[in-house]
Structure 1
Amino acid sequence: MKKILLFTLIITISQQITAQSKRDYLVTITTPWGEMHAILYDKTPKHKTNFLKLVDDKFYNDLLFHRIIDGFMIQGGDPKSKTAKQGEMLGDGDVGYKVDAEITPDLFHKKGALAAARDNNPQKASSGCQYYIVQGKVWNDKTLKEQMARSPQRVFTDEQKQVYKTIGGTPHLDGNYTVFGQVIDNLWVIDSVAKQPRNGQNRPLKDIAMKIECKKMRKKKITKRYGWEF
């Protein structure tokens, strides 16, 4: 009897794990110019868990994209931005903890990459809340080689080089920051945010608020709707 019960328990747990693997979280980031959707990588579990918790707590709602650089990236997640005065310098707000670096060579800074901001700590640990979305630019062979030279310790695959020469991104950041997700549609929204007028500290002259939600969805449905392959 005990063996039967144990076997039944193993089967039940196995079924639960299988069912769990068939679903994932779809993240919706809303801006004044529209929505973009993103997935979070299982290869960066600490960042994924932390980001989902903050989203579930509605932490990001009404925060600002406080730093934008056209041709580079858009950054948000500073909790101080919710009540900041117009023109006030932002970027040093946090939640009191860091997330261990989870830098993985095959998760790189192509356009739409969701990555964690950080200070200059030698462990490259990430901010507990601030993140950026890569806009970047498209590179040719010459300019890409120059960018790659800025990260001599990083080995770029042929596929990654091709992405940087077609979709674009910011290759010199590879190996230095944790990429933990990817925007999978409406990349033009990033462009819309990035091109807004900004001051000398790269803060938009007009506040750009965000709202972030997440919903668990079947992976097949995400693939069918957005073309993302898990």
Structure 2
Amino acid sequence: MNFSWKIALLGLLVLSACQKKEIKTAVSDPNNDFLVKIHTELGDIYAVLYKDTPKHRENFLKLAQEEFYDKTLFHRVIRNSIVQGGDPTSKDAHRGQKLGKGDIGYTIPAEMNPTHFHKKGALAAARLPDSVNPEKESNGSQFYFVVGKKFSEQSLKKELIDYKKLIPAFREWLKKDELIDLRTEVYWADMDNDQKKVMNWAVQNKEQIEKELNIELDRTISEQAKQFYLTEGGMPLLDGDYTVFGEIVKGMEVVEKMSKLRKDKYDRPIEDISMEITVSEIPKDKLRLEFGYVE
């Protein structure tokens, strides 16, 4: 290779390096914050990412700016529940293909914070269940928005029962000699695999179980979370199990519309809903005035 060709090649390499997109995970001014825009066929969704979930925030910002999410689908929609996306295998997926198992090759350590709960509009990370993921680590790319529903005092109280503790406590309580008749009924329900009936018995006897075994079978939430669930809605059942790392500041109606779409047996919309994500750095004052968001 002669000298002139070496110079030309070096110039191309320098140009390529200069054109490489800069990935920003920290704001240039402490008075600024990042605004995430998710463009879909149904409209635009705007979200902010929490600073006290830094691993999730930085990961999402990085993937978004690398255009990882572009052309991926919202592959799971459930009315009064969630809208989920970010599966890399959803790009160019054929119609009817089951999605949701894709990952990016790594997980993110859980960053749960009681001040961030599953209110309507919350942005949270999807993950595998406790049986294979006891540390509750998040999928590296998949996320969901909470739609949820509003609760009454009574329905919220039932929603906050810690069912993971209730069933073992119920079975321990059943060992009492005087409960032989109920224990027999539970045995036959187990034989019929009728777990709904077992659950109903457990709930009906919850207060007695708590009293006799001296245990607490309710999950605790803040007063702020309680009031939000009563007035605006959300999914308290998910609190403490998934990392909430952001929230919608505009475009909730787009997510609600998405949750009501016709879907197949896998909860995937019949008509594909793709996304394109962009990130911009804007003044916090603008976030407050135009989007009503205050840290």
Residue 170 (str. 1) matches residue 235 (str. 2): yes
Partner of 2:286: 221
Do the aligned residues in 1 keep the contact of 2:123 with 2:145 (CA within 8 Å)?
yes
Q: CA deviation at 1:20?
A: 2.9
Letter in 2 for 1:96: G
Partner of 1:144: 156
| SS in structure 1 at match of 2:118 | coil
Residues 97-176 of structure 1: pairs in structure 2 closer than 5 A: 97-120=106-129, 121-150=133-162, 152=217, 154-176=219-241
Gaps of 5+ in 1: 1-16
Going from structure 1 to structure 2, the CA distance change for 1:64 and 1:19 (only over 3 Å counts) comes to closer
Question: Once structures 1 and 2 are overlaid, which stretch shifts more, 20-29 or 110-119?
Answer: 20-29
Q: CA deviation at 1:18?
A: 10
Q: Deviations over 1:83-106 (max 9, x none)?
A: 211000001111100000001111
Residue 73 (str. 1) matches residue 82 (str. 2): yes
Going from structure 1 to structure 2, the CA distance change for 1:95 and 1:153 (only over 3 Å counts) comes to farther
Do the aligned residues in 2 keep the contact of 1:62 with 1:210 (CA within 8 Å)?
yes
Q: Deviations over 1:61-94 (max 9, x none)?
A: 1110001101100000000001211000001111
Residue 22 (str. 1) matches residue 31 (str. 2): yes
Partner of 2:273: 208
Q: CA deviation at 1:19?
A: 6.5
Letter in 1 for 2:287: I
Do the aligned residues in 1 keep the contact of 2:27 with 2:281 (CA within 8 Å)?
no
Which is richer in strand? 1
CA distance in structure 2 between the partners assigned to 1:146 and 1:87 by the alignment: 36
Residues 31-70 of structure 1: pairs in structure 2 closer than 5 A: 31-70=40-79
Higher radius of gyration, 1 or 2 = 2
- TM-score by structure 1 length? 0.90
Q: CA deviation at 1:221?
A: 1.0
Gaps of 5+ in 2: 1-25, 164-216
CA distance in structure 1 between the partners assigned to 2:263 and 2:27 by the alignment: 48
Indicate the percent of aligned positions where both proteins have the same amino acid.
43
- TM-score by structure 2 length? 0.70
Which is richer in helix? 2
Q: Please, what is the CA RMSD of the aligned residues?
A: 1.5
Residue 199 (str. 1) matches residue 264 (str. 2): yes
Letter in 2 for 1:133: F
Do the aligned residues in 1 keep the contact of 2:87 with 2:100 (CA within 8 Å)?
yes
Q: Deviations over 1:121-144 (max 9, x none)?
A: 000000000000000001111111
| SS in structure 2 at match of 1:20 | coil
Partner of 1:86: 95
| SS in structure 2 at match of 1:30 | strand
Corresponding residue pairs, total:
214
